[in-house]
Amino acid sequence: MSNASNNLSTKNMAISGSPTLAIDAKFKELKANGEDALGFGVGEPDFDTPLHIKQAAIKAINDGFTKYTPASGTLTLKKAICAKLKNDNNLDYTPAEIVVNNGAKHSLVNALSAILNPGDEVIIPAPFWVSYPEMVKIADGVPVVLPTTEENNFKFTLQDLKNKISAKTKAIIINSPSNPTGMIYTEDELRDIADLAVEKGIYIISDEIYEKLIYNGKHVSIASFNDQIKDLTIIVNGVSKSYAMTGWRIGYTASNAQIAKIMSNIQSHMTSNPCSISQAAAVAALEGDQSCVDEMRAEFLKRRNYVVEAINKIPQISCLNADGAFYVMINISKVFGTTLNGVKINSATDFCNALLDAKKVALVPGEGFDAPNYCRMSYATSISTIEKGIARIDEFLNGR
Ligand code: PMP
Ligand code: GLU
């Protein structure tokens, strides 16, 4: 190594790669090598993007809508987002308060960059989506983990939250429905969090990307309670999960106009606008017939029911019934200390590696979610794949 390599960005050298994307890459490599691998790693709907959305993109190309757009997104898409926020969440935003980004991942980094100064703390309830702590660090903040327990349905109590708040707390990330636990905060719980945030002047980053994937009841946005909490909230949402549009890379934020302006300015230098064609497709997604969303949710619900029942039939492992999103956290702590397929299992990573080697089944080990007793299983894949996968997990554990 040259001397220059000792002098690279200390901050960015400390950022780890996404473990969910790493598992997916490993799974895809096995598939490419002709292995009969089953992937439950990455959280990506297996459905094709609905036809009317694809047609809107094709039309955009044919119409020559292939040039730069305003950095923060087209007015047409921003208006469609405002209408969505009004209809679904009873929230009034103007286009100046909306920023369209290259996926919700990008929205989150932009939002954190807009509000954080070096050393500001961001509270992240655990188990958390793997990217949150790294995003906070990218934005010069300090992630502060707020642990929860399975006994409390992976939710924190208001007292737990109060205990983590310090003079440096700038924001808290709320992800309901949650990746990876599928947990949902009730309206009353969200109200309590909102009141505390207003009292303390803390921002809420409300990641609502799984809003449409709730199996019982309706989503409530924390921003909708009153003007004070709305002013402190940055809603993050997008089309990836609701409309099976992961590859199109469209996410968005709704915030106060000052924060939106900062985000828009950052984006204008970093990436310019999100893809013009994808923006046209996102308009069709938001304004078009929503029955595709209902159909996908109904299918996810069938899978959720199957997964929860089948996992809990296997003696050594268990999972809670997820209320939303398309993940379950499988508790594998009883397996620790045992030997499976000749491998001593002392961690979730050991378990996932041994399972992948022996049975070609990809799960994500819990360490990246700050949940070392668990593996995450995504059920965004067909029932027949899920059936085969869980049967293989049973064989792996019970030598059948
Ligand atoms: N938030 C959560 C909780 C997620 O699981 C994901 C999944 N990638 C994202 C944000 C980012 O979504 P996008 O594909 O729009 O970047
Ligand atoms: N959010 C999804 C997941 O958790 C997609 C992968 C990623 O963006 O990291 O698996």
Pairing of strands 121-126, 142-147: parallel
Look at residues 314, 240, 324 and name the one whose alpha carbon lies nearest to residue 282. Answer: 240
pLDDT at 132: 98
Quick check: 376 pLDDT over 70? yes
Instruction: Give the atom of ligand 2 at the shortest distance from the alpha carbon of 209.
Output: 1
Cα separation of 14 and 115, whole Å? 21
**Residue nearest (by alpha carbon) to ligand 2 atom 4:** 43
Query: Does ligand 2 have an atom closer than 6 angstroms to the CB of 21?
Result: yes
Cα separation of 47 and 53, whole Å? 13
Cα separation of 46 and 385, whole Å? 11
pLDDT at 296: 96
Convert the pLDDT of each residue in 227-238 to its tens digit: 999 999 999 999
Convert the pLDDT of each residue in 188-221 to its tens digit: 999 999 999 999 999 999 999 999 999 988 999 9
pLDDT at 4: 65
pLDDT at 5: 66
Cα separation of 347 and 339, whole Å? 12
Supply the pTM of this predicted model.
0.96
Q: What is the mean pLDDT of the chain?
A: 96
Q: How confident is the model at residue 400 (pLDDT cuts 50, 70, 90)?
A: low
Which residues line the pocket of ligand 1, CB cutoff 6 A? 43, 103-105, 129, 175, 179, 207, 209, 238, 240, 246, 251
Range list of H helices, 253-382: 257-270, 276-287, 291-313, 348-359
Reported in sequence order, the residue ranges of 127-215 that DSSP labels E, i.e. its strands, are 142-147, 169-175, 203-207
Contacts for 389-393 with beta carbons within 8 Å, 24 or more apart? 389/38, 389/40, 389/361, 390/307, 390/310, 390/311, 390/314, 392/38, 392/359, 392/360, 392/361, 393/311, 393/314, 393/317, 393/355, 393/359, 393/361
In the reported structure, the alpha carbon of residue 19 is separated from the centroid of ligand 2 by a whole-number distance in angstroms of 9
In the reported structure, the alpha carbon of residue 345 is separated from the centroid of ligand 1 by a whole-number distance in angstroms of 30
- In the numeric block, the tokens 């990506």 are attached to 44
Query: Does ligand 2 have an atom closer than 6 angstroms to the CB of 25?
Result: no
In the reported structure, the alpha carbon of residue 105 is separated from the centroid of ligand 1 by a whole-number distance in angstroms of 5
In the reported structure, the alpha carbon of residue 20 is separated from the centroid of ligand 2 by a whole-number distance in angstroms of 6
Instruction: Collect all residues with Cβ–Cβ distance below 8 Å to 122 and sequence separation of at least 6.
Output: 112, 116, 132, 136, 141, 142, 143, 144, 169, 170, 171, 172, 173, 205
Ligand nearest to the backbone CA of 325: 1
Quick check: 2 pLDDT over 80? no
- In the numeric block, the tokens 């009353």 are attached to 188
The enclosing H or E element of 34 equals none
Determine the length of the chain.
400
pLDDT at 38: 96
Reported in sequence order, the residue ranges of the chain that DSSP labels E, i.e. its strands, are 38-39, 98-101, 121-126, 142-147, 169-175, 203-207, 233-238, 251-254, 318-319, 327-331, 339-340, 343-344, 361-362, 364-365, 374-378
Ligand nearest to the backbone CA of 105: 1
pLDDT at 3: 62
Average pLDDT over residues 13-18: 89
- Biggest CA-to-CA distance, the chain: 62
SS3 content of the chain, % helix, strand, coil (to 5): 50, 15, 35
**Residue nearest (by alpha carbon) to ligand 1 atom 12:** 104
Convert the pLDDT of each residue in 103-159 to its tens digit: 999 999 999 999 999 999 999 999 999 999 999 999 999 999 999 999 999 999 999
**Which of the two residues, 260 and 2, has the higher pLDDT score?**
260
